[in-house]
Amino acid sequence: NTINFLFFVHYRALIFPLLIREGKPTPFFTFVLALLFCVFNGYLQGRSLTTYATYPPGWLGGSRFITGFLGWLIGMAINIHSDHILRNLRKPGETGYKIPRGGMFEYVSGANFFGEILEWFGFALACCTIESFAFALCTLFILSSRARQHHK
């Protein structure tokens, strides 16, 4: 189904791990918590969409789905472009803090976080399930906290 496909092709799950360069090591506990969250959320989203969610005929052509899909697509594009800018901030061997420029970084300091938040609220609108909205809210709270830390 189309909505399951949106969740499956999520940029962070499939593309980002292949593009990331060496960086700071992730603490094992953080890795385990993230893994548990992703497994639980993936199960919850998949189960709700395949078992409980029902959509009327023509849902994929309706304004809620199209608006949500566009939000998801634009959010993913912002996320991918912002991560590209971040990956290319420093030349190999270069260290130190640099302020990202270009793209959505001209408007928000955490453009990658903004893109992912937009992506998941678009997904929630396209799905119209309580589970997808709960995930969008979790994303908002977690990433806005990280964005605030990065901004400081």
Closest CA to 75 of 136, 23, 151: 136
Q: What tens digit of pLDDT does each residue of 120-147 get? A: 999 999 999 999 999 999 999 999 998 8
The full set of domain ranges for the chain reads 60-91+100-151
Q: What tens digit of pLDDT does each residue of 18-77 get? A: 666 666 677 888 878 887 888 888 889 889 988 999 999 999 999 999 999 999 999 999
